[in-house]
Amino acid sequence: MYLKINQVSKTYHLGETTVAALRNVNLEIAKGEFTALVGASGSGKTTLLNLVGTLDTPDVGSIWIDDVDVVKLNEDQKSVFRNRKVGFVFQSFNLLPVLNVFENIELPMTVNSDLTPEERRDRAMQAIKDVGLEDFIAHVPDRLSGGQRQRVAIARALATNPSLIIADEPTANLDSKTAHMIIDLMQNLNQKRNSTFLFSTHDEKLMSRVSRVVRIADGMIADESRK
């Protein structure tokens, strides 16, 4: 997986007010990198993740993922691309309350006609094992803790075998101990699967846990560091 963001800008219009969410952003991420976007609320972190995940479109610039400029895809193509190339982990988990753990994880794969039911089941079970939820397969979200729900969300993102996993504030709704456990899990999966992680956070305490930090301020890349 190779991600290249080139001269990307995004402006929003809120009534008569114009907000420059991103300004001439350039960023490259290689396969297997574990990268955190850091910045205050309103700095542009979520906007950048939404653009990379093809949930939104920049005003100008290009975003290359696996040699595809996703900015040029139409909406149907973006939908297919997201389903097969990008996994999402949200701070609010976004699990369907009427589905159990297995069903929530399998759900994104049901729209992929290239997968047989057996392949879907095998992928879901492997993802469940990877996040340590074998004993909770039949549980619905209301019977799970916040940390367990986030594990389900991570497993759901992994099950489609994406090139890139995007996580928007994945520890924001968790206590400190559980947050560090989730970071441990993502790091282990990053190393085990060589999965590329790009996630946002404003929690400075977590910065020592990642291999690369990209700081965003006022819609621009302020600086970055590697460990």
Q: Packing angle between helix 117-130 and helix 146-159, nearest 10 degrees?
A: 140
126-146: pLDDT as tens digits: 999 999 999 999 999 999 999
Beta-strand pair 68-69/60-65:
antiparallel
pLDDT at 8: 98
**Sheet of 3-14, strands arranged across:** 17-29, 3-14, 60-65, 68-69
pLDDT confidence of 202, banded at 50, 70, 90? confident
For the segment 81-92, the average pLDDT, to the nearest whole number, is 91
Q: Which contiguous run of DSSP H or E holds residue 198?
A: strand 196-201
pLDDT at 15: 84
Helix (H, G, I), strand (E, B) or coil at 45: helix
Instruction: State how far the alpha carbon of 62 is from the alpha carbons of 2, 27, 210, 221, in Å.
Output: 13, 11, 26, 16
pLDDT confidence of 205, banded at 50, 70, 90? low
Of 21, 20, 28, the closest CA to residue 1 belongs to 28
